[in-house]
Structure 1
Amino acid sequence: MNDHYYSAKPKSASNRQAFETELRANRLRLTSDAGVFSRDGVDYGSRVLIEHMEIPRDARVLDIGCGYGPIGLIAARLAPQGHVKLIDINERAVELARLNAEANGIRNVSFAQSDLYRAVEDETFDAILSNPPIRAGKAVVHQLFAEAWDRLNPGGSLWIVIQNKQGAPSARAKLEEIFGEEEVREVAKDKGFRIYRAIRKNGN
């Protein structure tokens, strides 16, 4: 059976490759590998999310399903007085994210291997960022949305990128069910990708 990027322990032989890329005016040198998401370069959906996410300078941020780290590492650059935790079920991805943080001198970060939010059940965040694992199935993606509520501080935001053809309408409906219709907004759309922001309303 072939590895999925959401496998906990990829069995494919490691074949690391390094590349340089520019994300939100930040030049990064990244290393990827077999058995992780978008190994040949930062995927377009992640790039769209990176360009539009709004991260306060002192925010505590979670990147769930971090892969080798591009979203979370840029979030850390945007929040120099804050902290970003990068988590993924894939142990190879987590190790790459740690390596990429070190290679780019990004220190306001920490890492954990985690099945959804299991490693951060006692933590809360001002922002949660995700390019969710669509291939893991709708049930997993919707669980990621639902459990985000308890991991957000009041007033905190969940930022999601999802392709229209891969379930953006149902994703938005699920977010509105969890967060309330008035708290979910489509922030951007680009080449079939949608960026949704869902806010945990103060007091709820």
Structure 2
Amino acid sequence: MNDHYYSNKPQSESRRRTFEATLRGFALRFTSDAGVFSRDGVDYGSRVLIKEMEIPSDARVLDIGCGYGPIGLTAARLAPQGHVTMIDINERAVELAAHNASSNGIRNVSFAVSDLFTAVEGQRFDVILANPPIRAGKAVVHRLLSEAYEFLRPGGSLWVVIQNKQGAPSARAKLEEIYGDEQVRELGKDKGYRVYRSIKNI
């Protein structure tokens, strides 16, 4: 079976599990399932991004590749006057993210099944968050980094976490090509993971 977490319709037999995690001081309860990314708990890369990401309280945020929701739902807690749009190509993941928002009482969120940015065409965001699907290949990851620029408002920021051994140096080079050297900063590193913030010129 060629089933992976960036499948549109995972064929894995459902095996839901529920666990709790404290992220940025918020106690959250997540239900995950087979066929989605990091089923057994919030992955380390997402935790590193969540620790470092800066979300204004009224920000309009996009979580691309949201999985079952740890990054986007934490962002929603950090932006009580804002709104977080959570998208993923994986239908099962989007269903779980919506379920987890509801079970945690988080309402300033919306959800869509989306191949990269297709579901948010014409929209602009203050912050875009991504833990890219490395296994989908470098071309897909670099396409995400490139296309994100058009979905940011002027002055908006793209936050990305990537592991060194999985292409962080080439991702940074790509970001500097798109945003300019002065607009890209490494704002966190932990156990080989790098968090890059890229700001769209005003």
TM-score of the two chains, using structure 1 as the length reference: 0.98
- Where does structure 1 differ by over 2 angstroms across 4 or more consecutive aligned residues? none
TM-score of the two chains, using structure 2 as the length reference: 0.99
Q: For 1:9-48, what aligned pairs fall within 5 Å after superposition? A: 9-48=9-48
The 1-side partners of 2:2 and 2:120 are apart by 29
What is aligned with 1:160?
A: 160
The 1-side partners of 2:3 and 2:124 are apart by 31
The one-letter code matched in structure 2 to 1:139 is A
The 2-side partners of 1:47 and 1:200 are apart by 24
The one-letter code matched in structure 2 to 1:149 is Y
What is aligned with 1:186?
A: 186
What is aligned with 1:77?
A: 77
**Shift, 1:198, TM fit:** 0.3
The 1-side partners of 2:21 and 2:127 are apart by 24
Q: Give the fraction of aligned pairs with identical amino acids, expressed as a percent.
A: 76
The 2-side partners of 1:119 and 1:190 are apart by 32
**Shift, 1:25, TM fit:** 0.6
Deviations 1:125-161 (A, max 9, x none): 0000000000000000000000001000000000000
What is aligned with 1:199?
A: 199
What is aligned with 1:170?
A: 170
**Shift, 1:2, TM fit:** 3.2
What is aligned with 2:50?
A: 50
The 1-side partners of 2:115 and 2:44 are apart by 24
The one-letter code matched in structure 2 to 1:104 is N
The 1-side partners of 2:99 and 2:44 are apart by 22
Deviations 1:96-146 (A, max 9, x none): 000000000000000000000000011110000000000000000000000
Deviations 1:37-83 (A, max 9, x none): 00000000000100100000000000000000000000000000000
Q: For 1:112-131, what aligned pairs fall within 5 Å after superposition? A: 112-131=112-131
SS in 2 for 1:105: coil
The one-letter code matched in structure 2 to 1:29 is R
Which sections of structure 2, spanning at least 5 residues, go unmatched? Answer: none
The 1-side partners of 2:20 and 2:149 are apart by 35
